[in-house]
Structure 1
C-alpha cells in the first residue's frame, strides 16, 4: 500500500524518476519492507539506467537537509539489500481497517504514467489517494486544497498544464478532470472521475511469494512451486508473523522487543522453508496437495519455534544469574567511578542488563504460549474430528486408530525434540547457572505436554469404549 506518510513525501520531495522508484519499491517489498529486487531489475522496472538508479539509492540512503531516510541498507547472505523506510509495514503498526492508504493501482506502472511530469503524477496521485480512501471513483477537491498559499503544490497555470499533460499522454481514458462551481457559494471545485472499475484495478505485491520460491530453490529443490501451494505456505508464514506479534501489540511492549519478535518470526519462517525445501525431494506429493504442504510446513515451524523458545529461556536465565550478582555490579560501578556507590547508582548501572532480561523473558513467554496453542490446536482438531465422525463411519475403530496414531506420532516427535534440546543445554549451557535452573523450562514443558496428551488419549479410549 501507499501509506499516508509515503503519499505526503511523494507530493513534495521527489523527482519524476524518484516518484516511480518509490512506487516500484512498494510493489516489490516483502512483509518486512525489504525490497526484493536487485539493482538492474529496479532500474529496468522504473525505466531508467543503472547509473541513475545508483544516484537515487545514494540520495535515499544518505538524505540531506533533514529529509527522512527512505532506504535503509543492510547485508543479508552477502548481498546488499534495502528496506523501504517510509511508513509502517503491515507487520508492525499498520492497520488496514483504520489507517489511510492508497492502493497500488495498475495505471501507476503504465509507461504513459511514467512519462508524465512530476506535477501531473502528483495530481493523479492526489485523485487516486482520495478514491482509495473514499472508495468512490468520483472524488472532489476544494480548489484551495490544490492551489493554496503560501506554498502551493500547484499554481493555477501549473494545474492546467498538468491536466493537459495527462490528456496528452493518453490517460484521458482513465480519468476525466474537470472544474465545477457551486452556484450558491461560488466556490470552485476540481472533480476527478475515474473510469469504472479503476477502484479494483490494482496490482498485488508478489515479492513475498517470489522470496518463498527462491528460498526453497536455494535449499536444493529445483522444481516449481505452483500458486496454490505457495499461497498455503504463505498463510503459514502470515500466521507466524501475526501470532508472534499478537500479544506484543496488545501491551505497551517496547518497540525494540517488537522488532526482535519480527526478526525472530522471519528467522523461524525462513528456516522452516529451507527444511521444507530439502524434504520436498522425498515428498513430491506435497506439490499437488496444498493443505498437506501447509500442515507439513506448520509442523516444521512448530519444531523451530520450540527450539527458539528453549534458547530464549536459557538466555533469560543466564541474564538473570548476572543480574542477581549485586556485589559484582557494585564493585564494577565503584571501580568505574572511583568512589563508593549507593543502591540507586548500582540500579542505574544494571538497568541495560535488566532490560535485556525482560526482553528475553517476555519473548520466551510468547514462544512458550505459541507452542502450547499450536499443540492444543492440532490435538483438539484431530480428537474432535474423531468424535464427530464416529457415528458417521462404518469403521469407528479405524477412525479412532487414525487419530490415536497421529497424536502418538506428534507426542513422540515433540519428546524427541525436547530431549535433543535438553541434551544441548546440558552440554553447552551457561556454567554460571545451576543445571536444574537451566533445564527447568524444558522439563516443565515436557510435564505439561505429557499431561495434555494423557488427557486426550483417555478421551479417545472413552470414544472407543462407547463405539464398541
Structure 2
C-alpha cells in the first residue's frame, strides 16, 4: 500500500528512478519495514545500475527532514508510511494500491511529472473505488486560492498529459483536460483500463521469509500458501494485539518512551523463535498432517507463541521487581532521585549530577518495564480467556439460532459437550504453565538484555531476588487465576 505519507514523499522529493526504486521497495518490506532485497535486485528491477542505486541509498540515509532509509544490520528500513502493514484503520487510513502498471516498462519510461500525475490519479481511484475519476485543476496546479503542488505549472501539467497520451502507457490510462459546462471549471480526467482496480501487486515478503526460516530450522517439506497464510495470521496478531494494548494503556495512563519500539522487537523475536520450534515439531510423525490441516497447524503454532510470550513476560516482570528493590533499598540512589533539581540561570536547563542522571534513568527504565510487563500480561490473559469465551459464545449462539451453523463454527449439542471442551482448554492452559515452571526450575531463562540490566543493578549493590523463584511464583499465581476463570465459566454453563 502507498499510504498518504509515502504518497506525498513520492510527489515532492524524488527523481524518476528514485520514484521507481521506492515503489519496488514497497513490495519487498517485511513487517518491521526492512527492505528484504539486495541493491542488485532493486537495480535490476527498476532498470538502473547498482552504482546509481548506492547513490540513492546514500542520499536518503542522510538526515534531511527525516531519515527515509535507516540502516538495519546489512539492510535498510524504509522509514515512511506504514511499512509494517499493520494497524490499518479503514475508517481513517487512505492509501493507493500497488497497481500492477506501476511495475511495467511503460510506466517506468514516463518522465517524472507524468509519473506524478498518474500517481495522483491512481490515489484518487483507490479512494473513490472508480476507474474513471477527476481531479480539480487547482488541486494540481497551485493558485492564490489553493496550495496545489509546487512542482506543477500549467505548462508542466499539459506536458505531462501529452507525454502520457503519446506513450505506450496510454493502453493503461487516458488522461485529458476537461471543463464543466456550467461554470467552466477545469478538471483533469483519468480513465484507467477496465479491471485496473483488481489488478494490483501483493507484498509476499513475509511469506517468503517464513519459508526460508522453516527451511533453515530443518523442515524440508513444501509449504502451501494456505499454510503460510494461517501461520502469518498468528504472527500478525502478535504485532496487532501488542500495539493495540499499548495504545489503550497510553490513552489511559499516558505514553511511555521506548515501549512501542521494544514491543515490536519482542513481537519479531517471539515470532521468529516460534517458527524455529514449529519447524522442529513438523518433522515429528504426529504432526505430518500440519501441511494440509492448516487450522490445526496454526492452533499448535499459537500455543508455541503463547509459551514464548509468557517467557518474555516473566523476564520483564523480573526486571520490574529488580528495579523496585533497587529504588527502595538504595539510599544513595533514592536520595539522588528525590533531591530538588537545580537549574542553570542562563540556559534554564537542569543541572544533573552523575548520581541524579543514574537515578532518573533507573526510574525511566522501571516505568518502561512496568508498561511492557503489563502489556504482555494482558496479552496472555486475553489469549487464555479467548479460548474459554469461544466455547461459551458458540454454545449460546447455537441455542439462539435454528439456522445451519457455518462449517467454521463448532456447535455444542449439549451442556456436557461444551463443559468437556472447556475442561480440555483449561487443562491445556495449565499444562503450558506447568511446562514453563519445569523449564525455569531446571534451566532458568536468561537473555543478553537481562545481563545488561543486572549489571546496572549490581553497580549499586547486589539486591536482586533469585530470578527462578520469583518467576515460578508468578506462574503459579497465574495458573490459579486461569483455573478459577475456567471453573466459573463451567458453572455458568451448568446452571444456564
Common fold by TM > 0.5: yes
Gaps of 5+ in 2: 343-351, 399-409
Residue 198 of structure 1, CA deviation: 1.9
Q: Give the secondary-structure state (helix, strand or coil) at the position aligned to 2:80.
A: coil
Tell me, yes or no, if the aligned pair for 1:73 and 1:81 is still in contact at 8 Å: yes
1:284-323 residue CA offsets vs partner (Å, 9 max, x unmatched) = 2100011011001100000001100110011111222222
Tell me, yes or no, if the aligned pair for 2:124 and 2:133 is still in contact at 8 Å: yes
Gaps of 5+ in 1: 338-343
Q: Structure 2 vs 1, CA of residues 444 and 349 (structure 1 numbering), >3 Å: closer, same or farther?
A: closer
Paired residue for 1:378?
387
Paired residue for 2:401?
none
2: CA distance, partners of 1:33 / 1:96: 20
- 2:134 is aligned with 1:134: no
Paired residue for 1:230?
228
Tell me, yes or no, if the aligned pair for 1:305 and 1:367 is still in contact at 8 Å: yes
Residue 173 of structure 1, CA deviation: 2.6
- 2:323 is aligned with 1:323: no
Paired residue for 1:116?
110
Match of 2:194 among 183, 188, 196: 196
Q: Give the secondary-structure state (helix, strand or coil) at the position aligned to 2:274.
A: helix
Q: Structure 2 vs 1, CA of residues 155 and 201 (structure 1 numbering), >3 Å: closer, same or farther?
A: same
* Superposition TM-score, scaled by structure 1 size: 0.85
1:200-220 residue CA offsets vs partner (Å, 9 max, x unmatched) = 322111111111111111111
Q: Structure 2 vs 1, CA of residues 270 and 436 (structure 1 numbering), >3 Å: closer, same or farther?
A: closer
2: CA distance, partners of 1:169 / 1:203: 23
Tell me, yes or no, if the aligned pair for 1:386 and 1:403 is still in contact at 8 Å: no
* Superposition TM-score, scaled by structure 2 size: 0.80
Match of 1:241 among 239, 242, 245: 239
Q: Structure 2 vs 1, CA of residues 458 and 17 (structure 1 numbering), >3 Å: closer, same or farther?
A: closer
- 2:434 is aligned with 1:415: yes
Match of 1:294 among 291, 294, 298: 298
Paired residue for 2:141?
147
Residue 406 of structure 1, CA deviation: 5.5
Paired residue for 2:71?
73
Tell me, yes or no, if the aligned pair for 1:103 and 1:202 is still in contact at 8 Å: yes
Q: Structure 2 vs 1, CA of residues 459 and 347 (structure 1 numbering), >3 Å: closer, same or farther?
A: same
Tell me, yes or no, if the aligned pair for 1:317 and 1:433 is still in contact at 8 Å: no
1: CA distance, partners of 2:72 / 2:326: 32
Tell me, yes or no, if the aligned pair for 1:329 and 1:350 is still in contact at 8 Å: yes
Match of 1:453 among 465, 472, 483: 483
Pairwise CA RMSD of aligned residues? 3.5
Paired residue for 1:13?
13
- 2:256 is aligned with 1:258: no
Paired residue for 2:346?
none
2: CA distance, partners of 1:425 / 1:295: 27
Moved more, 382-391 or 254-263: 382-391
Moved more, 148-157 or 408-417: 148-157
Tell me, yes or no, if the aligned pair for 1:71 and 1:84 is still in contact at 8 Å: yes
Residue 109 of structure 1, CA deviation: 0.8
Q: Give the secondary-structure state (helix, strand or coil) at the position aligned to 1:98.
A: coil
Q: Structure 2 vs 1, CA of residues 191 and 36 (structure 1 numbering), >3 Å: closer, same or farther?
A: same
